[in-house]
């Protein structure tokens, strides 16, 4: 038996994240659209056609929540440790999309939206510390 044969049936963190570019793309798209909600007045004045300018902030938030929901199948095929990361990112996405679909402090938006990947890192470290990932 090959020394790495025991890992053949496991999905590693790197494989899961790299091979699921759609997950990351959707998360980044949601984040970018939230930043566009913050800038809707300036974009409208300058003729920049963003999703919030075209649909309005409220409808844009609805689209972003639907997009976030399309991520739910990703955690169904992941291992237990990775599943926790996906669930935390998806739930966090619902929370900050709902919270920032109305204009709030730009600094808070930066902190919570950009901090999403810090959350993923903390969950990953906790999972590794508990021994759920090799």
CA 43 to chain centre: 24
Q: pLDDT truncated to tens, each residue of the chain (134 aa)?
A: 444 444 444 555 555 555 567 788 898 999 999 888 888 889 999 999 999 999 998 999 999 999 999 988 876 766 666 777 788 888 989 988 888 877 667 788 888 888 888 877 887 788 777 765 55
C-alpha–C-alpha distance, residues 53 and 103, integer Å: 14
Q: What is the pLDDT of residue 129?
A: 77
DSSP 51-98: HHHHH-HHHHHHHHHHHHHTTTHHHHSS-HHHHHHHHHHHHHHHHHHH
Q: What is the pLDDT of residue 5?
A: 40
3-state secondary structure of 132: coil
What is the CB-side half-sphere exposure of residue 15 using CA atoms within 13 A?
9
Contact 37, 101 (CB under 8 A): yes
C-alpha–C-alpha distance, residues 88 and 26, integer Å: 15
Q: What is the pLDDT of residue 2?
A: 44
Q: Which of 94, 97, 114, 117 is nearest to 37 (CA)?
A: 97
Q: What is the pLDDT of residue 13?
A: 59
Q: What is the pLDDT of residue 118?
A: 83
Q: What is the pLDDT of residue 49?
A: 94
Q: What is the pLDDT of residue 79?
A: 66
Q: What is the pLDDT of residue 68?
A: 94
């Amino acid at each position: 038996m090959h020394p790495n044969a025991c890992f053949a049936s496991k999905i590693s963190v790197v494989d899961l994240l790299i091979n699921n570019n759609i997950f990351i793309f959707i998360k980044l798209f949601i984040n970018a659209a939230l930043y566009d909600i913050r800038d809707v007045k300036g974009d409208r004045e300058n003729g920049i056609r963003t999703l919030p300018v075209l649909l309005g902030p409220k409808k844009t938030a609805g689209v972003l929540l639907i997009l976030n929901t399309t991520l739910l199948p990703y955690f169904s095929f992941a291992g237990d440790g990775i599943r926790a990361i996906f669930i935390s990112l998806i739930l966090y996405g619902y929370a900050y999309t709902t919270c920032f679909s109305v204009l709030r402090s730009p600094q808070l938006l930066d902190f919570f939206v950009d901090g999403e990947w810090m959350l993923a890192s903390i969950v990953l470290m906790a999972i590794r510390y508990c021994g759920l990932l090799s």
